Amino acid sequence: MEPQKQILGHLSAFFTISVWGITIVSTKVLLVQYTPVEIIFFRLILAVLALFIASPPRLAWGKFDCHVLRDELRIMAAGLCGVTLYFLFQNLALSYTLAANVSVLTSVAPLFTILVSRPGLNEKLKANFFIGFTVAIAGIILITFNGSIVLKLNPLGDLLSVLAALVWAFYSVWIKKISTQESSVFSVTRKVFSYGLIFLLPFLPLFEFRLGLERLTVPSNLFTLFLLGVIASALCFVTWNYAVHVLGPVKTSVYIYMIPVVTIIVSVLVLHETITLMAGIGMALILTGMVLSERK
């Protein structure tokens, strides 16, 4: 049963990354009519509704002790880091800097994850991980900038991208700790998103937020928000959390390298774009880096 779980964990991580590879572009498109906080708000509302429908909360009368409180605090921390702060940092970064910069800088999440995991989960640092990380990042840079030497830096946007990768690392560690205590991945994800939505509310007055429900009458806006909220958030966070539970935060985070590869494949299949030589070399480097990082 254990090998089957491992395979299912890898498939869950691959499915999640395949969807997330599309949503970066979708978020960039929505920023034309929505502010970053508005996108996050509608995304979380749809995610929470979907998770409550998929996994309704059950009243459980049990003993409340320090272990229950500890688990609840971990869920709150995961909601703050992986939902509220991660979405805020990533969406704000997209409004300040290029999507290419965000794609590259958030790809350092596996490195942050293994550094954060050491004291939290006793994950061991291995040389092959750093070699794989270097090779994969080189591939991501080749794909993202397609060999162009023009790199437009924006200190604020780039810093926000790095912060997004850092809080995601903390989220991965918290999720691993929670998943060992909770029986249902759906219930964990529902609680995480509920806390994430609660933590987001104080930020709304600080940014340009308005409901603007008339914008939902535009079919493309409604479809994109549905994709972000129900598929990329509710469903994909469940599959990602399951992968973290089975594979561990470090092994799962390595799949983040695949996001640019997925974007290129989707562009070829849907937009009929061609794969350039630089992009082909970049894809090969990313896959090589993933293999090196996963090796024991």
Q: Over the stretch 24-57, which tens digit does the pLDDT of each residue have?
A: 667 767 878 888 888 889 999 999 999 999 888 7
Report which of residues 277 and 161 the model is more confident about. Answer: 161
Q: Where are the alpha helices (DSSP H) in 201-235?
A: 219-226
Percent of the chain with pLDDT over 90: 15
pLDDT of 120 reads: 52
Q: What number of helices (H) and strands (E) belong to the chain?
A: 14, 0
Look at residue 45 in the predicted model and tell me its pLDDT. 94
Residue 243: count other Cβ atoms within 10 Å of its Cβ: 27
* Residue 214 neighbours by CB distance under 10 Å: 8
pLDDT-based confidence at 84, cuts 50/70/90?
very high
Q: Which residue has the tokens 């509310």?
A: 201
Give the count of domains, the chain.
Answer: 1
What integer pLDDT is reported at residue 239 of this predicted model? 92
Amino acid letter for position 200:
L
pLDDT for 178 equals: 75
Would you give the distance in Å from CA 99 to the centre of its chain?
Answer: 15
- pTM, two decimals, is 0.79
Give the 3-state secondary structure of residue 34. coil
For residue 268, what pLDDT is reported?
Answer: 66
Instruction: Name which residue leads in pLDDT, 159 or 263.
Output: 159
Q: Which residue matches tokens 């395979």?
A: 7
* Burial category of 296 from C-beta neighbours within 10 Å (exposed 0-12, middle 13-18, buried 19 and up): exposed
Phi and psi torsions of 229, nearest 5°: -80, -50
- pLDDT tens per residue across span 55-64: 887 765 555 5
The parent domain of residue 193 ranges over 2-55+62-294
